[in-house]
Amino acid sequence: MQKILGLACVLLIAGAAYLAITPSPIDPLPWDAPAAPPLTGVLEPNDTLMKAELLAQGQIHGPEDTAVDAQGRVYAGLHDGRVVRIGTDGRLETFADTGGRPLGMDFDAQGNLIVADAYKGLLSIDPQGRIAVLTTEADGVPFRFTDDLDIASDGRIYFTDASAKFRQPDYLLDLLEARPHGRLLSYDPASGKTETLLGDLYFANGVALSQNEDFVLVNETYRYRIQRYWLKGAKAGSHEVFIDNLPGLPDNLQGDRAGTFWVALPSPRKADADFLHRHPWLKAQLAKLPRALWPKATPYGLVIALDENGRIIRSLHDTSGAHLRMVTSVKPVGDYLYLGSLDNDRIGRLKIN
């Protein structure tokens, strides 16, 4: 017993010394998060996501976002850099390999798959799988974490650079640091010009245009909120909070162009995360530790729908997290929602009408 206690003391001393002399990879700020909203009313837990059909289960890893072509084939970007295609017969094939980490994606009017690749920038993949780089920087600042996108009817692409400091594997360091490193950008395919619309965002993530394309929404994942940037009208060029204090961390965002926005919330709010935000020193020490020792996200599936006034009108849950968990994207196509995940091995397809 004495030997065990002695060993424990040595390990504690060694751990304390390691924390004392090791520099932290982050320079965190405090943030006093608002109290999480209760899961009541429209947010009442249900089992809707557990009814989703599962595509390519066990054959893929990390289909973070999806897209569906005119033939009904489903595309997804994976951890290993591939963009795969699932045929209407369920057959899986590699469509392209970006060599990076493909995240948000959508088809343009010419049938090209536009992809926000975390490492490679904004890409265009033609129907034959040939890859072209559209843009990799704005205002002289290279993208470090190209994340999500939406495409306007005039071809302009609105997209995000989630963090100017941290790359994709270190997205949780951006959470702990609590500094605004993100940008909302636009790319004009006619001129090839890339423009910064909005900076100083707290992990700029999902992007979605409104029904009339008079404004664009952008998620601030690590502030539990969504910003609205006005593109047209008297408020053009200004921005405001569209909805605040969400019940989870908003990831990808997709509009159906009929007045509804679908928001993926990969993790519900956790009290320990909000506690940590008030204590920068603790966050700095946590960032030094192996990821295996960090607090874990709750296995849960959660999606919400918003109207164009920022009201939550519906929520879809998998309270077990066994069927669909860590949902990072919701793509409305026809009568279905396609649900992607950064870490899961499947795509969900849920009939909603």
Nearest to 327 by CA among 274, 262, 244: 262
**Any idea of the CA torsion for 104, 105, 108, 111, to the nearest 10 degrees?**
170
Between CA 25 and CA 127 the distance in angstroms is 41
C-alpha distances in Å from residue 338, one per residue of 57, 92, 170, 319: 14, 16, 26, 18
Nearest to 208 by CA among 268, 258, 141, 164: 258
Between CA 307 and CA 230 the distance in angstroms is 16
Residue 25 exposed, middle or buried by CB count within 10 Å (0-12, 13-18, 19+): middle
Q: How does pLDDT run across 292-315, given as a tens digit for each residue?
A: 888 888 899 999 999 999 999 999
Q: How does pLDDT run across 217-274, given as a tens digit for each residue?
A: 999 999 999 999 999 999 999 999 999 999 999 999 999 999 999 999 999 999 999 9
Beta carbons within 8 Å of 121's beta carbon, 6+ residues apart:
133, 134, 135, 136, 137, 143, 146
What local confidence, expressed as pLDDT, does residue 10 receive? 38
Beta carbons within 8 Å of 122's beta carbon, 6+ residues apart:
114, 115, 116, 133, 134, 135, 136, 143, 146, 149, 157, 159, 187
**Whose structure tokens read 């995000």?**
160
Q: How does pLDDT run across 182-215, given as a tens digit for each residue?
A: 999 999 999 999 999 999 999 999 999 999 999 9
**Whose structure tokens read 């609205």?**
228
How is the chain split into domains, by residue range?
45-351
> Which stretch of 10-24, 64-78, 93-107 has the lowest confidence by average pLDDT?
10-24
Whether pLDDT at 162 is above 90 = yes
What local confidence, expressed as pLDDT, does residue 14 receive? 39
Largest Cα–Cα distance of the chain, in whole Å? 75
What local confidence, expressed as pLDDT, does residue 297 receive? 84
Between CA 263 and CA 240 the distance in angstroms is 18
Name the average pLDDT for the chain. Answer: 94
Q: How does pLDDT run across 311-335, given as a tens digit for each residue?
A: 999 999 999 999 999 999 999 999 9
The average pLDDT across 19-26 equals 81
Percent share of the chain, pLDDT over 70: 94
Give 225's strand partners. 220
Percent share of the chain, pLDDT over 90: 90
Q: How does pLDDT run across 43-95, given as a tens digit for each residue?
A: 999 999 999 999 999 999 999 999 999 999 999 999 999 999 999 999 999 99
Fold of 45-351: Neuraminidase (2.120.10)
